Amino acid sequence: MNASYDVKFWDIRPNKSTKPGENRKTISYTVRWTVAAREKSKTFRTSAQAKNWLSDLRQTAKKGELFDLETGLPQSMLKAKEARTVYDFVRAYIDMKWPHAAAKTRDSISDGLATVLPALTKDRPGRPNAEILRTALRKYALLPEAKRPDVPLVRSPAFSGHVPNELYGRLYHATD
């Protein structure tokens, strides 16, 4: 995890209404801070919520906790739950859709996902090229458990450890 002790806090910024005809009343409050010169912010409905959040951040910084560079949160506030990978999400999607889908629909789902997933892999030494990975996904990994060939995932040269480790993209980023 990339983390830093270099944290700076700014004052809370009130956000005013910009609708024509309104008297520019404050509708929300934004807490702003930087972690290693990367700007972070979180918006709240009330001033009290924003003040409490800023106070919590300041207290954790004062305790000497590291702040995550990606999320801007101190380690104690990071989500403890492991996030699902895109690959895990896709497997659950296939398991849900497969029993009720027509054969051509199954083929289209598998083809589309096998085309997109290689683009989500990190480019590391030993990574198979996109076409080999696509073929392995289509012929093995994107089939439901009952339809999969007996070849174990780790024995497939295209997969040798690449699927769970390489297909990244945490779902919680999309929901934050």
Model confidence pLDDT, tens digit, residues 55-102: 999 999 999 999 988 888 888 888 654 567 788 888 889 889 999 999
The whole domain housing 135 covers 86-175
126 and 168 share one domain:
yes
Residues 60, 141, single domain; the answer is no
Same domain, 100 and 163: yes
In the numeric block, which tokens belong to residue 53? 């959040």
For residue 40, the cross-strand partners are 33
Q: Domain boundary residue among 46, 77, 108?
A: 77
Question: Do 100 and 33 reside in the same domain of the chain?
Answer: no
Specify whether 34 is located in the same domain as 69: yes
From 25, 59, 77, give the residue that closes a domain. Answer: 77
Residues 68 and 123 in one domain: no
| Average pLDDT rounded to a whole number, residues 31-37 | 93
- Residue 61 CA to residue 75 CA, distance in Å, equals 10
71 and 90 housed in the same domain: no
Q: Which residue has the tokens 């009343």?
A: 25
The answer to whether residues 171 and 92 belong to one domain is yes
**Residue ranges of E strands in the chain:** 3-4, 7-9, 13-16, 26-35, 38-44, 67-68
If one counts the domains in the chain, the total is 2
pLDDT in tens, 103-155: 999 999 999 998 888 888 777 777 777 787 888 888 878 888 777 766 554 44
Residue 91 CA to residue 85 CA, distance in Å, equals 10
What global pTM score does this model have? 0.46
